[in-house]
Amino acid sequence: MIISVGKGMEGYMSRSCVHGNLPRAGLGNKLLVWARALVFSHLNELPLFVSNWADVKIGPFLRNEKSMRQYWGYFVKTNQPSFLRRLVFTLSKSVDDPHLRRLAVIDEKLLYVFRGMPAWPDYFKDLREFRGLITEEFYRNVAPKYRSLELLQEAPVIGVHVRRSDFRESAAGEMIGNTCNQRTSLDYYIRTVEAIRYIQGAQLPVTVFTDGREDEIAGLLSLPGVKIAAKNPDIVDLMLLSRSRYIVVSPGSTFSYWAAFVSNASVITHSSFRMRIRSDEEKLFEGPVEAFGRFL
């Protein structure tokens, strides 16, 4: 039921619905919450409203990051709730982050709110079996100007994502994969690129997507046939990375995990990463580069 509101507002909560109240976070994290709300609304045939695709983030400006992480206008058809509807939402009986399942009974005028991130490190738990639905809706909702900009650019062969910015440097001797906001050494990316090339027997071209500065990844860029991606909005970078033939994800970065999730590429993960991004049943390679040669 809903707490009493003004007569003119009754139509704003005439039935149960789903609200994806996205966190103040990066694009990959927002997409994870959105996807869970999408799947729940699909399973239960409930209308979906989504808030906070864009918000003002001060941190990137203070840290003078390459990407300011402002996502204004990236998505269309998001069914952003109006001010009055959001006011009604605050007064409604609600359930936070329900399990992704079809409900036997749906209470009348109940609001199902998704706002919490799925638990690290298995970010795609309960989402893998709905990858087709999520991927279709993701691309359907990207604003046409960004989709056009992405499609005009050549797909990478090896796409490498190097996350830096707000991730912290690893301490001496610290293992990768123990925390989710930890930088990975440049040596790892260099060894991985060289291994893929060795396995394929060719000097395949490499495109590096990074929120770091060029001087921070100079060792990787010094390899022959390696270039940094052209400057694009973050959403275009994510889609371009997803079109790579081989994707080297950045450990702990949901941005590159999302590029992998919506792709059919061979995905190279760090040996510490034990979870699947996509379903095993799809027979798409995911794993450390050491296992890649055995897969072919």
Look up the CATH architecture of domain 153-295.
Answer: 3-Layer(aba) Sandwich (3.40)
Q: Which of 40-44, 61-65, 137-141 has the lowest mean pLDDT?
A: 61-65
The Cα 230–Cα 286 span in angstroms is: 26
- For residue range 185-240, list pLDDT tens digits in order: 899 999 999 999 999 999 999 999 999 999 999 999 999 999 999 999 999 999 99
The predicted pLDDT at position 182 comes to 82
Whether the pLDDT of residue 10 is over 70: the answer is: no
Beta bridge partners of 158: 206, 246
Q: Where are the domains of the chain?
A: 7-117, 153-295
Closest CA to 25 of 139, 128, 117: 117
pLDDT band of 8, cuts 50, 70, 90: very low
The Cα 2–Cα 182 span in angstroms is: 44
Range among 10-24, 108-122, 187-201, 272-286 with highest mean pLDDT value = 187-201
Q: What proportion of the chain, given as a percentage, has pLDDT over 70?
A: 86
The predicted pLDDT at position 167 comes to 79
Beta bridge partners of 19: 49, 113
Sheet holding 286-287, edge to edge: 226-228, 206-210, 158-162, 246-248, 266-268, 286-287
Per DSSP, the residues of 91-149 read: HB-EEES--SS--S---TT-EEEE-SPPPSS-TTTTTGGGHHHHHHHHHHHB-HHHHHH
What is the rounded average pLDDT of the residues 164-178? Answer: 69
DSSP 247: E
- For residue range 261-272, list pLDDT tens digits in order: 999 999 999 998
Q: Which of 133-137, 159-163, 176-180, 235-239 has the lowest mean pLDDT?
A: 176-180
Answer for the pair 206, 124: CB distance below 8 angstroms, yes or no: no
Which is it for the CA torsion 133, 274, 247, 115, positive or negative? positive
The Cα 138–Cα 74 span in angstroms is: 11
Sheet holding 17-21, edge to edge: 48-51, 17-21, 111-114, 94-96
- Which backbone phi and psi does 77 adopt, to 5 degrees? 55, 35
Answer for the pair 255, 163: CB distance below 8 angstroms, yes or no: yes
Neighbours of 243 (CB within 10 A): 19
On whether the pTM is more than 0.85, the answer is: yes
Answer for the pair 114, 37: CB distance below 8 angstroms, yes or no: yes
Q: What proportion of the chain, given as a percentage, has pLDDT over 90?
A: 69
Considering just the CA atoms, what is the radius of gyration of the chain in Å?
21
Higher-pLDDT residue of 241 and 11 is: 241
The predicted pLDDT at position 66 comes to 56
